[in-house]
Structures are given as C-alpha cells and as structure tokens.
Chains A and B, each alone.
Chain A
C-alpha cells in the first residue's frame, strides 16, 4: 500500500462497524436491527448487539470506525448469475471495468459471465485469462461459465473437466440452445462427474428462426415474425426428459412462459434435479412494451403475454423459479437503432436488477428477504459459489440500500458503457446507497 491509510474495513485498514442497520441475511433468515463489524475485508462480527454505535465503543475494540446505517437495509451483495461482459472482443459495448462499475452501482458484488465473448471461452487458458483480467480491472468478483460446446457450435463438447479445474462454474452455450438432443444428453451425462450444472437457453431454434418478438396478435399487427411460446416449452420439456434419462444437473435460464414454469414445477415435484432463473423484464413487462417497434424491448427470450408475466411471478412465489439474474446484455446504438428485425436482442440489467425486483416486494408478491434470496445465496448455491451470505469469517461483500426511496431510472445515470434499457424513465422504489467488496467501498451513491 502506497503510504496512504487503507479504508476502514478493508485489508490493512482499521475495523469498520456498520451500525444501526436492518441486517438481512436471507440464507439464515436473520432480519433484525443490528450491525456488522468488518475487519481485514471479512465479516468479524454480526448481530443485534451492534444496533447502536455505543455498543461498538462498549465492546472496547481499538481504533474502530463506526458507520451509521440509519436503519436502512444491509444485505449480502447480490450474486448475478447471468451477465454478458463483452470483454474480450467487444469492448466498445462493455468491459469488465464498466460492467463492474454498473454491478457495484446495482448492489451486485459477484457476477458470472457467459462464454459468448470473442473468442469464445471454450479453453482452460481463456478461463484463467478472464480471472486475471477481472483481478486487474474489476471492482466486483467475476466468475465465468465455460462453453458447453466448442465455439458454441452445438456439436463437440469442450474440455469440461479442464475448464472446471481452471475455474469455470458451469457450462452453457450462452444465448443459444444446444439443439442436438444427443449432444445435450452426453453433456448432461459427462458433466455429472465434475458436479457442475449445465445452463440452457431454452429455445427450440427451428421454431424461433427469424423470429424477433413473441408470436401473437401484436407481432401479427406489426408484421414482425414471431417466436412462439412453445419454442421455449418444447426445449424445456425435452431437456427435462434428458435430465430424467441422465440424472444430470440442469439449470434453465431466463424462463419467460407460463407453460415452461408449469413444466418445471411438475418436474421439481417429481424430484428431478433441475433449477431455473428468470430476469426482471419477464415479471415486470409484457409484449406490449415493444409498442411501435421499440428495439430496447427486443429481448431473447422475447417479452411474452400478460398471462406469462403473471405465471413467472407465481413461479417466483412458490419457489419453482429459484433465482433472478439481470441477463445483462449490453449493445451499442448501432446494434439497436435499426429496423426491429435487424436489431440485436437484449438489454442491460445490472443497475436495474434490484429496483425492478423490489417491485415484487412493494406489490406484496414476495417478502423482502425472499426477494433478496433469489439474488444472493440461491444463485450462489446453484453454482457452488462461496458468496451471498452474511456470516462470521465470510468476505465482507455487502450493500446498503433504502428499499423505499423513490427515483426514476435514467439512461444518463447508467455506469454501463451501453444504455440499452427498456426501463429508461420508469419510476421505481429502492435505491442502492453503498456497496462493499471485501470490505472496500466500490460504490457510493452521490447525494
């Protein structure tokens, strides 16, 4: 350290006491007024006895700095299990540095990148280089998935074992489904020995070909080729059968349809080893957001009907849907300011993950700890990551937020290099005030 005094709480600095907070740890069910002491980047103490700063002084700890959380919520940093980082290869859209700034501003302290970079992450050396680059440039923790098939071509399996040993936390072909059932079957079988999940983008490619939005009346009126809901259902149902056949470990990404939620619910009831996530647009928007060809609302999977949106909420409520991920997909204006059919799929989501998910809390679909669970220990647990929990000795990856504070999402405030959000201008409630990774402040909301 270059002679400067290290920040309190961080390694080499004095301890930091975060007092007078509503401390929420969804994993343990702890939700009380209290505080957390952070020392050397890890959680040194936690509990209701740290409710007031006087308690810290009484504890006799030396040189401790107190930070008054003023009754606001202190929770484990969010774990975002589906992010496209665009680095390497498309740094004009996003870099690890800009994505991590966006993550920190969104309360996300751990994120997992898809392997659809350029080059594709289908080699162990690339997994290591991602980790190295992340250490050098990222404010938050970055993990990566390995490609499930070479070049994401859907034909030959990658070196799953070597990729896992290098640090890949799961395997996926990213934004493409593995179309070939035999390839998928063998992948599920083979990955079993490494205990890593296979993450599938659930979409039957032939049925989705040339499609640009949800198939239905709006697509018909706009003259846009549709992607039927059954494209998702069929792939989910096929994969569920393959899980039954192989006893493999499957995670289904960004579920968007009622029929897929129902299929997964039934599979879980039968005891199949399957999990799934969804993303905020699928429970907060429906296909009408496309309006008059709004390309920022062009997503993959596409925004669906109102009935589908409600079914996704039901799936979150009853636990069918395990996790919520941002599905962050940065695109520059050149990729979006195009006729609808030509525009790229996807939206940025790191900075709106929390506030859009809190709509579920404000609308009384989920309790706050339950909503946080889907963005903390649940995704961490699915991927075997040591993150998303508050416990003594754990890394001090935390964020402080005001769940009630109203604000308006504005494109100009995004830290992400790309601005493609369908939520621009949306009034929301719940704001991230401060984020710590390893006890170090990585984001602090300017007043």
Chain B
C-alpha cells in the first residue's frame, strides 16, 4: 500500500459505494465526519466552490419524492464543481414499466461517476450498485439505511457536544419503518454512544436490542438524562388504527413537548430529520426553541456531509484509475 499513488492517503475508506453505515469501520466514519467538518467551514465562506469534481458527472436518481435530500446532494455536487443531473422517477421511463436493472444499465451507459439513489424498497440501491461501474451513494432505501442522514446527524452532534463517545442519545418514534433510525443506531453505537430507542411496541422491532440499543416504551423513562433527543417523522399513513390508534393518542404519549423534554439533561439538544409533523411527533414550542434545537444545523451539515462523501468516493475512483 505504501508504494502506491499519493491518493493512497485516502485508502482509509475502502469501499467503492456508500450503501449503508453497517459495515463501515469507526475510522472510516471519522474520516467522513472530519472531512464534512472542513466542508462546513468552506460552505460558510463567501467562495463556496471548488473544482474537485470538475469533469465528473453526478446523477441524482430519485424513485421517491424528496426535496431536501435531493437539493442537498445537488448543491454538494455543484459546490465541488461537478455536473449534476437530477432524474425523478415520475419524469423518466421507470413509470413506463422499465425495470430497475434496465434503468441502471441505461444510466451506466452514460458513464456517470457517481450515482445517488433513493428508492422505496430496501436493498434496491445495493441491487443497482451491482449493475453499474460507477460509485453509488444510498440516499435512502426503503426501511433499510440512509447513511448520509446518520453522518450529518453525527457531525451536528459532534460540533455541539465535541464528541460522540459516551453521549446518551434517544431515538424516538417509528423505529420499525425508519431507515434513519437504523443508520443512526449503527453509527452511534459504533462510535461509542449509548443509544436508546423509544416508541410504542408496534413501532419498535422486537429484535432491535441486537443492534446494541436499550428499548423504552415510556417517554419519560427513556429521555431521562439524555444528551440528545432525536425525533423521527411519523408517516401519516401509518396512523389511524394500523400501528397506533390515532394522531392524538400518539402525540399524548410520544410527542415531544417541553414537559417531556424536561426529563433529559438541561443542555439536551433536539434533532429531527425533517420534514416535521408539528403536533404529531413534536410540539412547535420545542421545534422552534432555537438554543435547544439542532434542526437547522442538520440541514446545513447535510450539504457538507454529502460533499465529503462525494469527495471520498471520487478520490477512490481516481486512485483506482491511477492503479490500472
């Protein structure tokens, strides 16, 4: 390894794709977090653009509606000087019955360097990654993983708490259907945080403790002495009798209010991946409490983290090409 090209200094990230947090080493996670920190500084400067991705093509392929994640990736690619193309499933041939594999083959023929994919089915991004030559970033697949969300959450936490190790983080709400929860659990447990999950038993998988988390069904008990309270979005279609009896009842027991938050540490910070359902999982009073909320910063860190991911994966591409 020591005799290879200068790019080998980035050999700490061993993967061609970023498909999930599970499988990344703490070193690889730290590498991405450190890099994201430096991009966060660059983004706050007047001149935000670099030319790292000049000549590189990035395709945003979204099979699920998303404004913020897609925009965040688009900005990240553009700030690094890459050419970014957005493809929405509605506008493409996917709705005409083209299979995922056909789409992958077609896009692959356009020789992109990075493909950023969101898909409603777990595993779909991995399937697609097996059929293309470029790097693939998972922007959320079904209920499996959403790695860049976990990374941006970690950067935001680290910037405020100075560390991840030893913090107590509560993840609250619909754990069962949440790719954000899975990625965050893998990352935070891997980096030495104590993670609790809080939710009604219908929305917490019974085997979740195997991921190294503690399970609570009572909000006050779960939030006690937490450093970070991470709220999850509750999909409205999961309400109304299927998983919980009603929005009203859910908010009563699991909605984050100032009273419930009082159980956490006095300096506990509140996070939410957005978009928020005010009055369902979070009370406006808490959501808008600027000193206690990291929600705005999460969005800002999103761009920085995605720049870091694009940076690392394209450097890997470049070092592979140099090696060939």
Contact = CB atoms under 8 A, between A and B. Distances in A.
Contact of B127 (A216, A222, A339): A339
B205 A340 contact: no
Contact of A223 (B99, B182, B211): B182
B122 interface: yes
B205 A341 contact: no
A210 to B, nearest CB: 11
Contacts of B100: 338-339
Nearest to B205: A220
Nearest to B125: A339
A444 interface: no
B142 A337 contact: no
A420 B205 CA distance: 31
A412 interface: no
Given A223-B143, A293-B127, A334-B99, A216 B121 contact: no
Interface string B183-217: 00000000000000000000001011011000000
A340 B122 contact: yes
B207 A216 contact: yes
A217 interface: yes
Interface in A340-383: 340-342
A339 B121 contact: yes
Interface in A165-212: none
A224 interface: yes
Interface residues of B, number: 23
A341 B142 contact: yes
A339 B143 contact: no
B124 interface: yes
Q: In this complex, which of A216, A221, A223, A334 has the most chain B Cβ atoms within 10 angstroms of its Cβ?
A: A223
A341 B122 contact: yes
Given A223-B143, A292-B126, A293-B126, A340 B121 contact: yes
Nearest to A212: B122
B141 interface: yes
B119 interface: yes
Contact of B207 (A220, A223, A334, A340): A220
Interface of B is mostly: mixed
B123 interface: yes
A225 B121 CA distance: 11
Given A340-B122, A341-B142, A220 B208 contact: yes
B119 A217 contact: no
A217 B207 contact: yes
Interface in A279-336: 292-293, 334
Q: In this complex, which of B119, B127, B182 has the most chain A Cβ atoms within 10 angstroms of its Cβ?
A: B127
A225 B124 CA distance: 14
A222 B144 CA distance: 5
B182 A339 contact: no
B225 interface: no
B101 interface: yes
B179 A223 contact: yes
A337 B128 CA distance: 10
Contacts of B124: 339
A67 B143 CA distance: 60
Contacts of B22: 221
A337 B122 CA distance: 14
A337 B131 CA distance: 11
Contact of B144 (A223, A337, A342): A223
B142 A223 contact: yes
A224 B209 CA distance: 17
A339 B207 CA distance: 23
Interface string B98-129: 01110000000000000000010111101100
Contacts of B127: 293, 337-339
B141 to A, nearest CB: 7
A405 to B, nearest CB: 34
A216 B122 CA distance: 16
B145 interface: yes
A222 B207 contact: no
Interface in A203-240: 216-217, 220-225
Nearest to B142: A223
Interface string B12-45: 0000000000100000000000000000000000
B202 to A, nearest CB: 13
Nearest to A225: B143
A292 B123 contact: yes
Given A223-B141, A293-B126, A293-B127, A342 B121 contact: yes
Q: In this complex, which of A225, A293, A334, A338 has the most chain B Cβ atoms within 10 angstroms of its Cβ?
A: A293
Interface of A: 216-217, 220-225, 292-293, 334, 337-342
27 contacts: A220-B205, A220-B207, A220-B208, A220-B210, A220-B211, A222-B123, A222-B144, A223-B143, A223-B144, A224-B122, A224-B144, A293-B122, A293-B123, A293-B126, A337-B101, A337-B127, A339-B100, A339-B119, A339-B121, A339-B122, A339-B123, A340-B121, A340-B122, A340-B123, A341-B121, A341-B122, A342-B121
Interface of B: 22, 99-101, 119, 121-124, 126-127, 141-145, 179, 182, 205, 207-208, 210-211
Given A223-B145, A224-B144, A293-B123, 7 more contacts: A220-B207, A220-B211, A222-B123, A223-B123, A225-B143, A340-B123, A341-B123
